[in-house]
Amino acid sequence: MKRIRLVLAAVIVAGALIYLIVGGIRGAIVYYTTPSELLAQGPSAIGRTMRLGGQVMPGSRRWNAGTLDLRFTLGDGNATVPVIHHGAPPDLFTEGQGAVVEGTLGADGIFTARSIIVKHSEEYRPPPSP
């Protein structure tokens, strides 16, 4: 009887650990929708909180330091979505760079971002020589 309790306790502890590990991994994964996927959802995407990822399109970045309004367009090669964010852009935020924004799509087709995560290249390049 004592051995059965010990095995049962070990199974419960192992199950709890597996549950915590899997839950932690799920929480760390960042899923995002591409502009093409967002537009394919049609009106059902309006007002839902989501993450949108893509490249900041060249020539689309508009920053108003007075009002702290940042406007830009995210694209994935097939579709583009205009984005507006109120607040200073991240330091590494540039055109042609990957970015993931979290927010909602409005009925006007503009994605209002609450946060911006800049995706940077994993390729290291030393600074140019003087």
19 labeled binding residue: no
Ramachandran class of 78: left when φ > 0, alpha when ψ lies in -120 to 50, beta otherwise: alpha
Contact yes or no for 98/54 (Cβ under 8 A): yes
32 labeled binding residue: no
Contact yes or no for 49/103 (Cβ under 8 A): yes
Q: How many residues does the chain have?
A: 130
Tell me the binding residues for heme.
120, 124
Residues annotated as binding site?
Answer: 120, 124
